[in-house]
Structure 1
């Protein structure tokens, strides 16, 4: 019975659930905790955030490079993940557990040090876990299935971390909430990794040194076109989710209590819709499915322009959920094929460095989102809730619909700037895919 769950997409996706619960709680509440609850100055908090982003830019590709060069009898990725589990739990708890009585400078130092520690360990986890998907699951269909299940688990984790966290920290404080989430992470991540068995790769080349490894990655045109295209779509993910509360207030004119319903219309609908996209992907080439998902995502944000109350907003939110579901599932297919092709060219499986660089590119999309907010706000005069300008409704209609449509149009155009022609999977990889599908 145990063998059934080895390298099963269902047990592998538990790792996504495990990491997303604390990660989403961290990203949603760490600034609020330090600035609003502990009184850290906004300037110092921003400075820490900038240093945090610089550190993130440096450590992502380095950890990916080191992961690719690891070779133990327990695998390449699993030792990194197992070693990081207790460190991540500790770092996450420390972020939300500063000692009492610290001065503002002391609080800033604690904030900065724990951020850097948290980011380092989180990067090790995300890089190595992310590298396992294209390594374990070979073939478009099984990668699509694994990605769909992952995204379903991710949305459940996102809902837990965003909806339950305010109730939990109100009842038991932030530090104890962090302990609870750290334990949830530890349990599910351990179950996930105990059911992972890495393939023994027969690399035909010597491991690349640091500079050649980066050079080989950076000159891969398919990789850059794919990730730059995805970065614009990823910007839409963050922009739409962050604008929904403003959209609800200024466009739909609904109460704060009803915002949760609007959010749920987007994110809860994603769970079944990712499996609809899995069915669509089974009928076409993976690259075509990826491009189709970008086009559908662009169309799906148009109904948001026409929202005017809760019901119309929920209907538009479900439409966005369908577009979002496609974008969440399909990139894993194309990304996996790019890594497979690189392995054919270099004789090396280098999932780590590709996953790391991809992760940094997509996370940097937050800068585009911030710039869009600033520019549109400047055009319509929106400055803050205290000074929303003369036409805040137009501000957020544009930010939630027109700007995302334009960004996704750019994403689609970029996706057509290069031909993504890949070799057919090796017979061994096809047999591996068929075997897993048969198990499922």
Structure 2
């Protein structure tokens, strides 16, 4: 591979594209496949999901810790990713390819086992790919550029997974869909990894043992404030996407087909808008840009309150896309600085454990989203589509606008509880950034 593509933001972002295509298809359709198509009881499906989340909470920090302690001539992260590529392809296909004739406990066992295996391999990929980002890209400007490109690729992957998946499984079957998406993943993830050359920097400190590594991470106030703030913003992502069909039905009064048009407007607008945020970050400090993105994101959900038809819904969606683009791009800047500062303090590059713990905190935001749905539904009397209560319009206006606004206000407030002063390592980052920019 030509030198100009080594550690290039464009080739590195192919990894995000590769992982998001099957990951989005999995999160969107695995419950539908097992419950609706195969007849797995909703109680058993919920039990499997609960066990899945517990396993996720345990294995994330463990894989991050092991990744940080890996030291080979091929790098620390790349061996994990190369080893996980075929395993991820196999487990993803297995999730959507249960043996014929399974039902009841047999189907539940297959579902649970494949779910656990898939999640374990997916964690290895996400932790190690995520840990490479702050290592390869040093300095606010190059991180902003790499993050913007990465999120652009992610949006394209989301569109492919949500639009193409139903076409494939309707024309063929779910197993064929999984094979196609696993192949896409394998090809693009391999291209990404052969373009990565890890930096072999001498570490001043001794590797921390597991308990010591957790203690050092827990003591980092900036890390916890940053991630708890982001978790409230992340809740908005999940809440808005899950509420959108209800909002379309009860507030905008549009058809299911038109919901796709509205979602497409949001996703397509995000692609150019992430580069607008890249330009903003170049003009100001990364921490200030992150806080600004949270504020803008909060303001961007307000137009949903005034939606009444497809056109106003699309306009609100595009405005929301601007806030979403900012939240996609800016956290990578602050997260990278926190890891850099930790490395300066400990003499160790511990991207793995920070990425893993951060990922778990982010995924736990789904609990806040579920609670918000339950509470607002109780207030307005919404129970289900069969019993929507006396005022479903208000239910989903609040869930699409007022609740996200409150969550993002909390995120902004939390972001100001700690002073993010990275002045100590600013000069070092600037020197490294200049070298990287020269190479690119």
TM-score by length of 2: 0.99
Match in the other structure for 2:288: 288
| Contact 1:341/1:423, CA 8 A, preserved across alignment | no
The residue correspondences of 1:6-45 to structure 2 (distance < 5 A) are 6-45=6-45
Name the structure 2 match of 1:82.
Answer: 82
Please identify, of 415-424 and 153-162, the stretch whose mean Cα deviation from structure 2 is larger: 415-424
In the alignment, structure 1 residue 183 sits paired with structure 2 residue 186: no
Indicate yes or no: 2:142 matched with 1:142: yes
Distance 1:300 1:222 in 2: 26
**Is 2:93 the counterpart of 1:93?**
yes
Q: Larger deviation: 165-174 or 77-86?
A: 165-174
TM-aligned CA distance change 1:298 to 1:426, over 3 Å? closer
Superposed displacement of residue 72, structure 1? 0.1
1:68 equivalent in alignment to 2:72: no
Secondary structure at the aligned position of 2:385 is classed as coil
Gaps of 5+ in 2: none
The match for 2:343 is 343
8 Å Cα contact 1:372/1:403 also seen in 2: yes
User: Equivalents in 2 of 1:91, 1:24: separation in Å?
Assistant: 15
Aligned to 2:146, the other structure's residue is in SS state helix
Tell whether 2:219 aligns with 1:210.
Answer: no
Paired residues of 2:61 and 2:356 also in contact (CA < 8 A): yes
The Cα of 1:402 is off from its aligned counterpart by: 0.3
Taking structure 1 as the reference length, what is the TM-score of the superposition? 0.99
Distance in 2 between residues matched to 1:11 and 1:252, nearest whole Å: 40
1:273 maps to what in 2?
A: 273
Q: Deviations over 1:334-360 (max 9, x none)?
A: 000000000011000000000000000
Residue deviations 1:205-253, cap 9 Å, x none?
A: 1100000000000110000000000000000000011111111110000
Q: What number of residue pairs does the alignment pair up?
A: 440
Structure 2 residue aligned with 1:423: 423
Q: What is the Cα-based RMSD across aligned positions, in Å?
A: 1.0
Deviations 1:120-163 (A, max 9, x none): 00000000000000000000110011110000000000010011
SS at match of 2:172: helix
The whole-number CA distance in structure 2 between the counterparts of 1:281 and 1:306 is 30
Q: 1:311 to 1:242 in 2, by over 3 A?
A: same
| Unpaired segments ≥5 residues, structure 1 | none
Q: How far apart, CA to CA, are the structure 2 residues paired with 1:19 and 1:215? A: 31
Shift of 1:386: 1.2
Counterpart for residue 323 of structure 2: 323
Q: Are 2:302 and 2:405, in contact at CA under 8 Å, matched by a contact in 1?
A: yes
Q: Distance in 1 between matches of 2:121 and 2:61?
A: 14
Contact conserved, 2:134 with 2:351, CA < 8 A, in 1?
yes
Is residue 251 from structure 1 mapped to residue 230 from structure 2 by the alignment? Answer: no
| Alpha-carbon displacement from aligned partner over 1:23-49 (angstroms, at most 9, x marks no partner) | 000000000000000000000000000
